[in-house]
C-alpha cells in the first residue's frame, strides 16, 4: 500500500492535449532499448497518432504535482480474428516511465489498472502486447508474476525486418501489379480478410476504414494487387507514416557503440546495410496488408518487388515488415533481402491465469507492425 507521501507524489489520469509536450519529451528520452536504441516519436501529436492503432484508443499518464508526465501507457482496441472468429482485442503499448519513478511498482500497477479497467464487455478477456527480445529488464519485471501487476504470458515470437530498398535485388520481369481502385476495393478487402482469418490476432478490415483515421495517410492508390482475371491472388500496400510517426536512433548497446565504425566497414564490404549514425532519423515506410494466395513465395516476391520499386520512387531508404518468424514466407525475406532483423516477444496480458488464451502449436500470429 502506498504511503501518503507516495500517493501525493503522482496521479494516474487520462492524457489530455495539454500533456503533449511532456509526452513527446518522454518518448524522446526513453528509447526502446536493445542492440539499437530506437526512439519512436509521434510528431506533431501523439494522441492524434493513436488512431492508427485501433478504432477505440485510450492513453493514461502518471503526473507529478506540477503536471509533468512521469510515465505513460496506451490501450487500443482492434477488430481481429481469434480462433477463426471475429473479436475485439486490446493492445497495450507505449509503456514508458521516467527516471523519477523507475523501478517503482505502485505507479506502474496504477497505470496497468487504468488500462485494464478500460475493458468493455464485448472485448476478449485478455489484451496482447509486445516486448523487444533484447529488453531483458522489462521481461524480468513483467514476467515475475508480481501480485500488483497483470499476468504476462508468452504467446509467440515476432520478427520485424528493416529492408534497405536500394540494396535489394529486383526480378527482371514479373506479374502485373495493379493499383486498387473503387471497383476493386471490395475484392481487395475480401481477399485480405479471407487470408487473415488463418492467423491469430490478424486484423479485420472494412472498406470504409480507408476513409477513417484508422488508415490515415494511406490512400487506396497506395494499395496494390495481383489478379488473375476476376480473382485476387495477392495484396500489398506501402504506408508512409512519416507525417505523424518518426523513428530515430538514440544509441546502441556498449559493444556496438564502441565498434560501430569497424562494424560498418565490415558491413560495407559484405554489401550489408550500415548502422545509422546516432541522432539520425530513419527514412522508412511500412509494407502493409501483404497477403498472397496459398503463401506462394513467387507471388510474395513479385508483390514485394513492386513495393520496393514504389519506395525507391518516393525516395525512401527502408521498408519495414513484421511477421511471425515461423511463417514460411519469413524465410523468403531472409533469403532475398539484406534486412536488419528486430526480434520481439508477443504476450497475453490478463488479470488472472484463467484468462490466458490457449494457442495451438501450429497457430501463427498475424499482427501488422505498422500499427504497433
The residue-averaged pLDDT of 8-18 equals 85
346 touches 156 (CB < 8 A): yes
**Sequence-ordered alpha helix ranges (H) in the chain:** 4-9, 20-29, 46-49, 105-116, 136-142, 185-196, 254-269, 297-313, 328-336
Task: From 349, 206, 351, select the one nearest 289 (Cα to Cα).
Answer: 206
Least confident piece of the model among 20-29, 31-40, 100-109, 254-263: 31-40
Higher-confidence residue: 167 or 366? 366
Find the Cα–Cα–Cα–Cα dihedral 194, 195, 199, 203, rounded to 10°: -70
Least confident piece of the model among 34-43, 142-151, 186-195, 340-349: 34-43
Q: How many residues does the chain have?
A: 372
Task: Quick: pLDDT tens for 185-195.
Answer: 999 999 999 99
pLDDT reading at 131 higher than 60 = yes
C-alpha cell at 299: 507471388
- Inter-helix orientation angle 297-313/328-336, to 10°: 50
How is domain 4-156+245-275+346-362 classified at the CATH fold level? Answer: Aminopeptidase (3.40.630)
- Locate the domains of the chain by residue range: 4-156+245-275+346-362, 164-243+284-342
Output the CA–CA distances (angstroms, integers) from residue 34 to 3, 142, 251, in the order listed.
35, 17, 10
Q: How confident is the model at residue 15 (pLDDT cuts 50, 70, 90)?
A: very high
Task: From 369, 293, 307, select the one nearest 179 (Cα to Cα).
Answer: 307
DSSP conformation letters of 101-147: TTT-HHHHHHHHHHHHTT--TTEEEEEEEEEETT-HHHHHHHTS--T
CA distance 92 to 114: 11
Which CATH superfamily groups domain 164-243+284-342?
Gcn5-related N-acetyltransferase (GNAT) (3.40.630.30)
pLDDT reading at 130 higher than 50 = yes
Task: Quick: pLDDT tens for 223-248.
Answer: 999 999 889 999 999 999 999 999 88
Whole-number percent of the chain with pLDDT over 70: 95
CA distance 288 to 240: 10
CA distance 147 to 145: 6
Q: If you average pLDDT over every residue of the chain, what do you get?
A: 90
Q: How confident is the model at residue 1 (pLDDT cuts 50, 70, 90)?
A: very low
Q: Which residue has the cell 527516471?
A: 99
284 touches 322 (CB < 8 A): no
Question: Residue 5: what pLDDT?
Answer: 39
C-alpha cell at 46: 501523439
One fold for 4-156+245-275+346-362 and 164-243+284-342: yes
CA distance 238 to 250: 26
150: number of Cβ within 10 Å:
23
Task: Quick: pLDDT tens for 260-312.
Answer: 999 999 888 876 667 889 988 889 999 999 999 999 999 999 999 999 999 99
CA distance 64 to 305: 50
Amino acid at each position: 500500500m502506498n504511503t501518503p507521501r507516495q500517493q501525493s507524489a503522482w496521479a494516474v489520469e487520462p492524457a489530455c492535449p495539454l500533456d503533449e509536450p511532456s509526452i513527446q519529451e518522454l518518448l524522446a528520452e526513453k528509447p526502446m532499448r536493445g542492440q539499437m536504441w530506437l526512439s519512436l516519436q509521434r510528431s506533431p501529436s501523439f494522441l492524434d497518432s493513436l488512431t492508427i492503432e485501433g478504432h477505440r484508443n485510450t492513453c493514461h499518464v502518471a503526473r507529478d504535482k506540477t503536471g509533468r508526465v512521469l510515465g505513460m501507457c496506451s490501450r487500443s482496441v482492434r477488430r481481429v480474428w481469434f480462433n477463426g472468429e471475429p473479436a475485439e482485442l486490446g493492445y497495450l503499448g507505449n509503456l514508458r516511465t521516467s527516471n523519477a519513478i523507475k523501478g517503482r511498482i505502485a505507479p506502474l500497477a496504477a497505470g496497468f489498472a487504468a488500462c485494464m479497467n478500460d475493458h468493455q464487455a464485448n472485448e476478449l478477456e485478455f489484451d496482447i502486447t509486445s516486448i523487444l527480445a533484447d529488453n531483458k529488464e522489462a521481461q524480468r519485471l513483467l514476467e515475475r508474476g508480481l501480485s500488483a501487476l497483470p499476468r504476462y504470458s508468452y504467446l509467440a515470437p515476432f520478427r520485424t525486418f528493416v529492408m534497405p530498398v536500394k540494396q535489394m535485388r529486383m526480378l527482371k520481369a514479373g506479374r502485373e501489379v495493379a493499383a486498387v481502385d473503387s471497383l476493386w476495393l471490395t475484392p481487395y478487402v475480401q481477399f485480405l480478410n479471407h487470408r487473415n482469418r488463418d492467423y491469430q490476432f490478424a486484423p479485420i478490415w472494412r472498406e470504409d476504414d480507408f476513409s477513417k483515421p484508422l488508415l490515415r495517410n494511406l490512400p487506396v492508390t497506395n494499395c496494390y494487387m495481383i489478379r488473375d482475371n476476376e480473382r485476387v491472388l495477392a495484396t500489398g500496400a506501402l504506408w508512409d507514416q512519416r507525417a505523424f510517426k518518426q523513428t530515430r536512433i538514440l544509441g546502441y548497446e556498449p559493444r556496438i557503440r564502441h565498434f560501430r565504425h569497424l562494424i560498418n566497414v565490415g558491413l560495407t564490404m559484405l554489401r550489408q546495410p550500415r548502422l545509422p549514425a546516432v541522432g539520425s532519423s530513419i527514412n522508412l515506410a511500412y509494407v502493409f496488408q501483404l497477403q498472397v494466395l496459398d503463401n506462394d513465395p513467387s507471388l510474395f516476391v513479385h508483390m514485394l518487388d513492386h513495393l520496393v520499386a514504389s519506395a525507391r520512387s518516393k525516395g525512401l531508404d527502408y521498408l519495414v515488415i513484421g511477421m511471425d518468424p515461423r511463417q514460411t514466407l519469413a524465410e523468403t525475406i531472409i533469403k532475398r533481402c539484406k534486412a536488419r532483423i528486430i526480434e520481439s516477444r508477443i504476450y497475453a496480458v490478463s488479470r488472472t491465469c484463467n484468462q490466458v488464451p490457449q494457442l495451438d502449436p501450429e497457430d501463427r500470429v498475424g499482427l501488422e507492425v505498422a500499427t504497433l
